């Protein structure tokens, strides 16, 4: 067989999809597995959004669109992003893509040169595509650790220490996958302060979970974007989409806003998928412009499930879990649980939970190297029913109790 390129051979992946394949194979073989692996809402897409898609198909609106997206969606996304962030985004700054994910690659490829040693700083733990797209595009990945002691908000001093003259891009993600952590207004001010000393650095603000921020005694429930801070707007690529807010992961609609990069992203899309599916684009117009009560209700359900899962996880021997402020992920520290059952690390715990307890989760190493000194973590996506949460965490508690070694004397 002719050889593959080094790039193809070394291309990274999103391990959630790999574990999901393993879980699905187990389920097919008859095993009873409760899964907390995949980060997608478990609700159906609201009916009025479905209806808009059907109307688009019936109305003949199913051909190619301009690569940047239909004007109606660019305008709706501009209005929605402007409102949430308190800034004024024009429709021609917005580019629509097949999900938010492709823009990660487009952004890295648009601001770094292949093999030139250009550096991209991104959070660790973090969405694995940040690093894999750096490598695929010949940029140098520079991980920035997020620590439990800071509620997984990045440390501005650590950020400052990682910026060099070769730094081209900083990727921020708030609310954060996998920890559910938030960057508060104060955190973002401190980050902006650092960035003002480094004019050459673009910011990719991955804000796909921006409408999943929870109000409670620990948090105002307000979402803050770095793009709204003085001097940050021009250099910030805002990324958002329909997947998480409107239960539309499979419809593949994401959008970015940045004036300088909009024409560049448009050209990337012309070179790759041509345009996002027109049918989904019309559905997304309805999602953004139509009634928001179902999206609000889904967010409320996620908040109450968060409270449920955090309470249950904290009752599992050896688990410790702070309440995350957004997204739909819980990231308990399981260092002590690993020790109790003699598991070498979170990955061994994950495998044993899957095969011996029938519960599927992801391990911290699926999101980059473990942060030194922060112990072991696993990720739960609580976009699962209350019944699944109760049964799944119950199985874990039983498993840990059953397998706990006697304390050494």
For binding to ligand PMP (CB under 6 A), which residues are involved?
A: 39, 99-101, 127, 173, 177, 206, 208, 241, 243, 249, 254
If the CB atoms of residues 209 and 399 are measured against ligand PMP, the closer one turns out to be 209
- Taking the complex as a whole, the smallest distance from the CB of residue 249 to ligand PMP amounts, in Å, to 5
- Taking the complex as a whole, the smallest distance from the CB of residue 4 to ligand PMP amounts, in Å, to 26
Give the separation between CA 20 and CA 282, rounded to whole angstroms: 30
If the CB atoms of residues 187 and 206 are measured against ligand PMP, the closer one turns out to be 206
- Taking the complex as a whole, the smallest distance from the CB of residue 348 to ligand PMP amounts, in Å, to 25
Give the separation between CA 390 and CA 87, rounded to whole angstroms: 41
- Taking the complex as a whole, the smallest distance from the CB of residue 119 to ligand PMP amounts, in Å, to 20
If the CB atoms of residues 131 and 206 are measured against ligand PMP, the closer one turns out to be 206
Alpha carbon of 34 to those of 31, 315, 353: distances in Å? 10, 19, 10
Place of tokens 């799944």: 392
**CA quadruple 272, 278, 284, 290: dihedral, nearest 10:** 160
- Taking the complex as a whole, the smallest distance from the CB of residue 409 to ligand PMP amounts, in Å, to 45
- Taking the complex as a whole, the smallest distance from the CB of residue 123 to ligand PMP amounts, in Å, to 9
If the CB atoms of residues 17 and 114 are measured against ligand PMP, the closer one turns out to be 17
Q: CB neighbours of 137 closer than 8 A, spacing ≥ 6?
A: 105, 108, 109, 112, 114
Angle between helical axes of 129-136 and 101-111 (0-180°, round to 10): 40
Tokens of 194: 């650092």
Specify the pairing of strand 94-97 against strand 254-257. Answer: antiparallel
If the CB atoms of residues 73 and 100 are measured against ligand PMP, the closer one turns out to be 100
Query: How does 15-37 read in b/e, with b if 16+ C-beta sit within 10 Å?
Result: bbeebbebbeebeeeeeebbbbb
If the CB atoms of residues 75 and 105 are measured against ligand PMP, the closer one turns out to be 105
Residue nearest to ligand PMP (CB): 99
If the CB atoms of residues 110 and 335 are measured against ligand PMP, the closer one turns out to be 110
- Taking the complex as a whole, the smallest distance from the CB of residue 103 to ligand PMP amounts, in Å, to 8
């Amino acid at each position: 067989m002719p050889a593959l390129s080094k790039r193809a051979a070394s291309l990274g992946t999103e391990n959630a999809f790999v574990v999901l394949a393993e879980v699905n194979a187990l389920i097919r073989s008859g095993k009873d597995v409760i899964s907390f692996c995949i980060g997608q809402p478990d609700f159906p897409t609201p009916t009025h959004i479905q209806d808009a898609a059907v109307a688009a198909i019936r109305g003949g609106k199913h051909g190619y669109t301009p690569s940047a997206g239909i004007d109606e969606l660019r305008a709706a996304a501009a209005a929605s992003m402007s409102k949430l962030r308190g800034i004024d985004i024009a429709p021609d700054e917005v580019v629509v893509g097949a999900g938010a994910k492709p823009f990660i690659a487009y952004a890295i490829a648009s601001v770094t040169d292949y093999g030139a040693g250009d550096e991209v700083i991104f959070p660790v733990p973090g969405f694995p595509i940040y690093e894999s797209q750096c490598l695929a595009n010949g940029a140098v990945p520079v991980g920035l650790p997020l620590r439990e002691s800071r509620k997984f908000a990045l440390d501005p001093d650590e950020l400052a220490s990682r910026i060099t003259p070769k730094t081209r891009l900083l990727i921020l993600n708030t609310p954060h996958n996998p920890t559910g952590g938030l960057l508060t207004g104060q955190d973002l001010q401190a980050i902006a302060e650092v960035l003002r000393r480094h004019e050459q650095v673009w910011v990719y603000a991955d804000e796909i979970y921006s409408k999943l921020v929870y109000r409670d005694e620990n948090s105002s429930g307000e979402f803050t974007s770095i793009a709204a801070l003085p001097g940050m707007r021009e250099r910030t690529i805002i990324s958002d989409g329909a997947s998480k807010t409107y239960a539309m992961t499979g419809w593949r609609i994401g959008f970015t806003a940045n004036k300088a990069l909009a024409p560049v992203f448009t050209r990337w899309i012309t070179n790759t998928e041509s345009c996002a599916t027109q049918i989904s684009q019309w559905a997304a117009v309805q999602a953004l412009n139509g009634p928001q009560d179902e999206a609000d209700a889904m967010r409320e359900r996620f908040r109450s499930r968060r409270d449920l899962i955090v309470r249950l996880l904290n009752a599992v021997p050896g688990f410790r879990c702070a309440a995350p402020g957004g997204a739909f992920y819980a990231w308990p520290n399981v260092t002590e649980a690993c020790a109790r059952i003699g598991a070498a690390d979170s990955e061994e715990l994950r495998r044993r939970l899957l095969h011996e307890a029938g519960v599927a989760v992801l391990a911290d190493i699926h999101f980059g190297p473990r942060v030194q000194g922060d112990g072991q973590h696993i990720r739960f996506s609580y976009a699962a029913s209350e019944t699944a949460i109760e049964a799944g965490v119950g199985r874990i508690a039983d498993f840990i109790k059953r397998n706990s070694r006697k304390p050494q004397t």
